């Protein structure tokens, strides 16, 4: 009886996970088709969503890119789709690739080496970039114009533009609120924040 109830709950959770992912994919597909005409050639697209797109992108650049290309019917774009919690690595790369050692991290798990693919990495600073934030229901709410890379001691603020990513300011991490005010940024909700020290 207990096993049966456990299986029912497991199947329900699996069904809910697939339903949530199907809804997210449908929302993103419609948004991509509507918005893609505004993206420059060789554009890069970052979607920061609320629910976990684990079953179809996992924040990986290659899965995200091919999802974007399929739904936009454009082969010139690339991008990353994931959540804020996935934004824990330096996002920049020199050249787009589906696979590279730069996309992997190795950690020590109780004496055993473990490799895992990094999420939310794959932005080329010299290419146009378009960043969109989605609300709790995965409805697009705003386009973000800033990227901040936060490390334990030092941070960098970049302007995300249709001409590429431009370094605007470098500052001590403890001074980041002061730096945001200096650039008239009211909240970290208006920035794509990559927290490397998490």
Q: Six-digit token pair at 122?
A: 């794959």
Q: How far apart are CA 127 and CA 125, in angstroms?
A: 6
Structure tokens at 35: 């918005």
Contact at 8 Å (CB) between 105 and 113? no
Token representation of residue 12 = 């329900």
Mean per-residue pLDDT over the chain, rounded: 85
Handedness of CA 100, 105, 111, 112 (dihedral sign): negative
Lowest mean pLDDT among 25-39, 48-62, 90-104, 174-188: 48-62
| pLDDT value at residue 132 | 93
Condensed to tens digits (0 to 9), the pLDDT of residues 152-164 reads 899 999 999 999 9
Within a 10 A sphere around the Cβ of 39, how many other Cβ atoms? 21
Encoding tokens for residue 51? 């629910």
Global pTM reads 0.83
180-191 mean pLDDT: 84
């Amino acid at each position: 009886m207990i096993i049966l109830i456990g299986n029912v709950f497991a199947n329900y959770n699996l069904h809910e996970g697939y339903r949530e992912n199907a809804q997210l994919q449908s929302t993103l597909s419609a948004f991509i088709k509507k918005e893609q005409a505004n993206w420059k050639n060789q554009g890069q697209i970052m979607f920061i969503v609320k629910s976990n797109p684990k079953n179809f992108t996992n924040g990986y650049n290659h899965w995200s890119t091919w999802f974007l290309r399929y739904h936009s019917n454009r082969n010139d774009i690339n991008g990353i789709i994931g959540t804020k919690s996935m934004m824990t690595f330096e996002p920049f790369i020199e050249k787009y690739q589906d696979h590279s050692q730069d996309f992997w991290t190795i950690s020590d798990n109780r004496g055993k080496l473990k490799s895992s693919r990094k999420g939310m990495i794959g932005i080329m600073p010299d290419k146009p970039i378009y960043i969109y934030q989605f609300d709790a229901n995965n409805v697009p709410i705003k386009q973000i114009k800033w990227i901040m890379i936060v490390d334990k001691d030092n941070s960098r603020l970049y302007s995300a533009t249709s001409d590429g990513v431009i370094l605007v300011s470098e500052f001590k991490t403890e001074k980041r609120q002061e730096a945001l005010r200096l650039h008239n940024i009211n909240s970290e909700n208006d920035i794509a924040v990559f927290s490397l020290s998490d």
